[in-house]
Amino acid sequence: MPKSASPEVSRAKASVSSENRLGTVDPDQSLDDQDKLSSRDFVSSLSRGLSILSSFSRTSRKMTLSEVAAETDMSRATVRRFLLTLVKDGYVVTDGKLFDLTPKVLDLGFSVLSKIGVWDRARPFMERLSEQTGESCTAAILDGLEVVYVAGVQAHNIISVGITVGSRQSAFYTANGRVLLAGQPEEYWDAIIANARLVPRTQHSVTNKTDFRQILEQVRDDGWSLVDQELELGLLSLAIPLRYRSGVLAGSINIAVPSIRATPEIMVDTYLPKLRETAEQIQMSLAR
């Protein structure tokens, strides 16, 4: 039965400060901050309500009351009160059995994403890349141990890869995520890997933490990441970091291609140079 995140994982996720949220995580920074938070300041009901909303993002499906309770490690009675409140406020809808998020929850995130001007600047270059390759292109930032997609261009193919802006994925099985994790200071890697939940998504998914550290080292040395059907069967994904002119990590950009149209060799030989060229063009357009 799924449980809520362990204190260690929660600490790692909470460590993305408002200053470094565009691409840097400090796995130890938030511990002292949390210690300073008095019980009088902590609103447990708000925390539990946000946990319920997050559970729908993790599962990406409609859920029964019992399933939400299992996902959040709360009692059915508690979850019922929160869900009915969210239904009344318009954030959740139900048919009497299954619960699901409504588009209103996007209001909570798009106002933040819309302020990240770098992605407005990046989008025309991403559109050009998608037109040149005929494939989908996305951009992501790191939030704790997950990637958040902040921009995307959908290719118009019969078989295409669709990513919704604002959606999340584990950083461990995405090319974007591995690039961003490898871009963290190496002194943070021990905490990141210790908190890694390497739950296989396909038979190709890496599950050994020692192997994953070697992957991060390779990504750091290469400057790019290729994920071959580890997140989803039939999907290859290639990502590189996107930096400001100062060298500070802004996020990552990615090309995703169905395996019916590419091999790992094609991804590196054909798509990597185009991805690098696009990142350089975006970087040159940034004032910072």
Q: Is residue 148 part of a domain?
A: yes
Q: Is residue 219 part of a domain?
A: yes
Q: Is residue 132 part of a domain?
A: yes
- CA dist., res. 264 & res. 257, Å (int): 10
Token pair belonging to 242: 């996107």
Q: Is residue 2 part of a domain?
A: no
Q: Which of 106, 138, 162 is the last residue of a domain?
A: 106
CATH code, domain with 238: 3.30.450.40
Please tell me whether residues 100 and 122 are part of one structural domain: no
C-alpha distances in Å from residue 19, one per residue of 15, 16, 24, 151, 223:
11, 8, 9, 20, 24
Please tell me whether residues 164 and 274 are part of one structural domain: yes
Q: What is the pLDDT of residue 106?
A: 64
- CA dist., res. 166 & res. 147, Å (int): 9
- CA dist., res. 82 & res. 102, Å (int): 15
Q: What is the pLDDT of residue 14?
A: 42
**pLDDT tens digits in sequence order for the chain, 288 residues long:** 444 444 444 444 444 333 333 344 444 444 344 444 456 667 788 888 888 988 887 776 789 999 999 999 999 999 999 999 999 988 899 988 999 888 777 666 655 554 457 788 888 899 999 988 989 899 999 888 889 888 888 876 544 455 677 788 889 999 999 999 999 888 889 999 988 889 888 999 999 999 999 999 999 999 999 999 999 899 999 999 998 877 888 899 999 999 899 999 999 999 999 999 999 888 888 754
Structural domain boundaries enclosing 219: 115-285
Q: Which of 87, 106, 125 is the last residue of a domain?
A: 106
Q: What is the pLDDT of residue 42?
A: 72
CA 171, 203, 276, 169 dihedral sign is negative
Q: Is residue 262 part of a domain?
A: yes
Cβ atoms of residues 263 and 280 within 8 Å: no
Token pair belonging to 114: 């819309």
Please tell me whether residues 130 and 209 are part of one structural domain: yes
**Phi, psi (deg, nearest 5) at residue 263:** -120, 165
Q: Is residue 228 part of a domain?
A: yes
Within 10 angstroms of residue 283's Cβ, the number of other Cβ atoms is 17
Please tell me whether residues 136 and 255 are part of one structural domain: yes
Cβ atoms of residues 182 and 219 within 8 Å: yes
* 82: CB partners within 8 A, 6+ apart: 48, 49, 52, 74
Q: Is residue 16 part of a domain?
A: yes
In this structure, which amino acid lies at residue 145?
L
3-state secondary structure of 142: strand
**Phi, psi (deg, nearest 5) at residue 68:** -65, -40
Q: What is the pLDDT of residue 35?
A: 46
Q: Is residue 1 part of a domain?
A: no
Please tell me whether residues 27 and 152 are part of one structural domain: no
Q: What is the pLDDT of residue 2?
A: 42
Please state the domain count of the chain.
2
Tokens 């739950």 identify what position?
A: 199
Rg (CA), the chain: 19
Q: Which of 106, 133, 161 is the last residue of a domain?
A: 106
Please tell me whether residues 72 and 122 are part of one structural domain: no
CATH code, domain with 11: 1.10.10.10
**Per-residue model confidence as pLDDT tens digits over 106-139:** 666 655 554 457 788 888 899 999 988 989 899 9
Token pair belonging to 77: 């009675």
Nearest to 179, CA basis, from 151, 208, 138: 138
Please tell me whether residues 277 and 134 are part of one structural domain: yes
Please tell me whether residues 85 and 146 are part of one structural domain: no
The shares of helix, strand and coil residues in the chain, as percent rounded to the nearest 5, are 45, 20, 35
In this structure, which amino acid lies at residue 16?
V
What is the distance in angstroms between the CA of the first residue and the CA of the last residue of the chain?
46
Please tell me whether residues 142 and 247 are part of one structural domain: yes
Please tell me whether residues 155 and 204 are part of one structural domain: yes
Cβ atoms of residues 183 and 249 within 8 Å: yes
Please tell me whether residues 123 and 46 are part of one structural domain: no
Please tell me whether residues 61 and 154 are part of one structural domain: no
